[in-house]
Amino acid sequence: MSERTLAIIKPDAVKKQAIGDIINRYEKAGLKPVAMKLMQMSMPVAEGFYAVHKARPFFGSLCGFMSSGPCVVLVLQGENAIKKNRELMGATDPAKAEADTIRKAHGANIEFNAVHGSDSPETAAFEIGYFFPGMEIFG
Ligand code: IDP
Ligand code: MG
C-alpha cells in the first residue's frame, strides 16, 4: 500500500553535509520526496513536534538540539513508506543500528542520530500536517 511518512534530516546530519547521501538512500529504496524544505525550528516548534516525549528526561535537550540549526523536513511516499523508512534509519541508538543504515553511517549517539521518521500512520498524519499544508505536497 502506498503511504506517506514524515522524515527529518536533523541538524547534526545537515552540518556533516550528509543531506545528499541520505536523500539518495530514500530514493534508491523507492521512497519519493513529495514535499521538502530546509528550515530551522524554533524551540516552541520543536517542543510541539515532540510533545509526545515531554515527560521524558531528554525532552529539553532533544528540543534544544532540534532547534540548534537548519534541518531538512520531507514527506516521503511509497509502498510501506513508514516501515521502510524506519528500516533505512536503523535503531534509535546508532551504536545498536544495523549495518547499512543511516544512523549507523551518520549518527553520533542516541540523541544526535541524524534522522527522524514517523513510527505509525497516526503519527505520520500528525507530523506531515505539522509542517506541510496539502498544497505543498506533490503526491
Ligand atoms: P526514534 O527517533 O527512533 O523514533 P524516539 O524514542 O521517538 O526514537 O525518540 C525521539 C528522539 O529523541 C530520538 O531520535 C533521539 O534524538 C532522542 N532520544 C531518544 N532517546 C534518548 C535518550 O535516551 N537520550 C537522549 N536522547 C534520546
Ligand atoms: Mg519516535
Whether residue 108 has its Cβ less than 6 Å from ligand 1: no
Q: Is 116 an annotated catalytic residue? A: yes
In the set 10, 84, 106, 116, the catalytic residue is 116
Q: What pLDDT shows up at residue 65?
A: 99
Grid cell for residue 121: 500512520
Task: Report CA torsion sign: 94, 99, 102, 108.
Answer: positive
Kindly report, residue by residue over 60-91, the tens digit of the pLDDT: 999 999 999 999 999 999 999 999 999 999 99
Q: What pLDDT shows up at residue 85?
A: 99
Indicate the top mutation candidate among 85, 92, 123 to test ligand 1's pocket, ranked by most ligand atoms within 8 A of CB: 92
Q: Which helix (H) or strand (E) holds 38?
A: strand 32-39
Whether residue 96 has its Cβ less than 6 Å from ligand 1: no
Starting from the CA of residue 91, give the closest ligand: 1
Starting from the CA of residue 12, give the closest ligand: 1
Q: Sorting pLDDT into bands at 50, 70 and 90, what band is 22?
A: very high
Q: What pLDDT shows up at residue 137?
A: 98
Q: Under DSSP, is residue 75 helix (H, G, I), strand (E, B) or coil? A: strand
What is the number of alpha carbons within 13 Å of residue 94 lying toward its C-beta?
A: 17
